[in-house]
Amino acid sequence: TGIVKGPFHYEKDIHNWEQNPDTGERVYVPLKKLVPKLEAVSCWDFYPDPSAVDMKDAEYAIQRHRLNRQQVRDLKNKPFFDLESIEECLEMGSNFQKRGFEDDIYSDDDPTYMEDRFEVLEYWGVLDKSLLEQVGADIPSDMEEISEIQVNVWVSNTQILRIAINPFTPQRIPYNALPYEINPYQLFGVGVPENMEDAQLLM
């Protein structure tokens, strides 16, 4: 099963050089352009609502990120991230914990895999309005009568790095699960190995 996240828009740097009219030298002046972006998410880092049979049925989804220090620091340039919480997270040090299945996925010969990495969890789903008020989230005035609100939250090292109201209209969880063959009773579908199993046992 493939997991696709998005589409989102982001600023892409377009390489551009202009000639300085005073000196005649060519100067690098990059242009910024908004472009759509899709992201492939590893199924090993994706934790959807276990009761859901498809993403439309899911109440929430969590994506696990493995980021280095520079990538965590770069989150400051994205909207709605808390600069103080990011600095606090960096000061607390790396917190990445390798899961058991990762020994099979990643090579044991890579000694740098665990070094100075941060586990950042990205949550898309509903939260109680009272909980959002406790953590200081900005709740729009037209949502004051709603008891549960769709949000996007990033956490790491017990720090809330970002909390924002779901920006999509209509609100939705921005992940799509694309199974090779649909299983009507669960989100993750049937893959090629399972389809080949009977024929392979015969051989």
d(Cα 67, Cα 116) in Å, to the nearest integer? Answer: 9
Reported in sequence order, the residue ranges of 15-147 that DSSP labels E, i.e. its strands, are: 17-19, 26-28, 31-41, 46-48, 60-67, 118-128
Q: What is the DSSP letter of 87?
A: H
Q: Give the full edge-to-edge strand order of the sheet including 175-178.
A: 31-41, 2-14, 175-178
Please report, in tens digits, the pLDDT of each residue of the chain (203 residues total): 999 999 988 888 889 999 888 888 899 988 989 999 999 999 999 999 999 999 999 999 999 999 999 999 999 988 899 999 999 999 999 888 888 777 777 665 555 556 689 999 999 999 998 888 888 777 777 777 788 889 999 999 999 999 998 888 788 999 999 999 999 999 999 999 999 999 999 99
- Give the separation between CA 35 and CA 11, rounded to whole angstroms: 6
Identify whether the C-beta of residue 16 lies closer than 8 Å to the C-beta of residue 29. yes
